[in-house]
Each structure stands twice: as C-alpha cells, then as structure tokens.
Amino acid sequence: MTHGKPGQIGAGLARLQAVAAEHGVDLLFPPDEGEKHGLEPAADHAAVDIAVVLGGDGTVLRALTRFLGTGVPVVGVNFGRVGFLSSMGRRDLEAACALLPAHLSLYGLTVEPRTPLARWVSRGATAPPSDERYAEERVRVLSRKYGPARIRHDLRAKGISGDIVEAISSDGELERARAILGRKYREPATTPEERAKRARFLQGRGFSTEVIMRLMGRDAEPY
C-alpha cells in the first residue's frame, strides 16, 4: 500500500520493485493501488506473506485495518510527514526489504536473536543496522513536535549511544519552537499567567531555557 498522494513517495515504488525483482519476490497490488500506479492488480491480493507500506502513519493505519485478523505482518517505510508507526526510514528500504519477512522488526530494524540476520552480523557477513541512521530518522520525525532535550531523552531510552545523542544539533530550535507555539496557541500571550503557561508547555516539549525566554520572556520576540 502507498501514500494517498503518489508523488509523496517519489521513486519509492520503483525502488521496492527493483529489490523485489532482485530477490525473486512477487509484488501483489490490490485494485486501488493498481489503478493509482497504472499496474496490474492481483487476482487474490489477500494471499500475501507480508504487507509493505510506503507512506506515513495514515497509510500504515489503513494497511493495519485491511489486514486486521489475517496474521499478515505490516511493515511501514516512512514516506510521510510523521512516521511514528513506520518500521524504518525511506533510506533503509532496500537493505530492510532484502531480508525475509520474519526478520523485520515492526518497531525499527533491529537484530533479533536466533534469526539469520543475527548470524550474519555475528560472523561479519553484514553490518548491523546503523544507530546513526536510526537516530537521524528519529530526529527528523520528532523535531516537528519536540525540542532537543526531549529528543535526546527519547534516543537514550532507546539505547542509542551517548556520542550520537550528544551530537544532535540544536540548529533551528527557536524557529521550531515558534512554529509549535503558533499551532498550539492561535493568539499571542497577553498576561503573565498565559506566558508562564506557554513557557511550561515549551519546557515539557524539551526546548531550552534560552529559547523559552526569547519567546515568552518580558522582551519576547513575536511568534
């Protein structure tokens, strides 16, 4: 299944078709997807081993609804704006889809014990999934809603090394905080109580004291 706007996935479908052909995997398209991309729909698209989703959270939810109760695993490749439900970023499509379905984690590409991937990694036949790549994708997704402190906390909780976490840039933090405030509150704060409430909101989202003061202090910049 793919994003409702075909242009959103760019060359993603062609990339999926190429890696499927390389590994002898048949791609089956339901009628709506066949019509969307000008492809021949499968006679029995429900008879699949795994459902690959190219899109965002909305597309993943549509796939989960379609395959609910079938036992078919759904693996999402994030081509949307959010991607919390996706298994991997778009840059990992080829590497991940080259593996057998049972070796894909639905919460990120991980090395699961007692799988062929784990054995390949242990004998040096392939490199383990990159923490740097995972962190890069995670930062891209979370930065739409959170500040650097909250993002770093999330990555530490997921076991990402301290060196990678501390290397996360705070560039653009002020503009992101301003945009988030603008979406949350339509009108500027006019009282000390309102400014304090919004300052606490930004603090909870992980923005720095410096940025909060620039937006909510006595000499605050407009947002």
Please list the active-site residues: 57
**CA angle (7, 9, 15) in 5-degree steps:** 125
At 118, give phi and psi (nearest 5°).
-60, -40
Query: Which of 51, 131, 45, 115 lies closest to 86, judged by CA?
Result: 51
- DSSP string of 129-188, one letter each residue: PPHHHHHHHHHHHHTTT--HHHHHHHHHHTT--HHHHHT---TTHHHHHHHHHHHH-SS-
Task: Work out the angle between the directed axes of helices 209-216 and 173-184 (0-180°, nearest 10).
Answer: 50
- DSSP string of 110-135, one letter each residue: ---TTSHHHHHHHTTSSPPPPHHHHH
Task: Give the 3-state secondary structure of residue 69.
Answer: coil
Query: Which of 91, 85, 98 lies closest to 137, judged by CA?
Result: 91
Tokens of 205: 């989202």
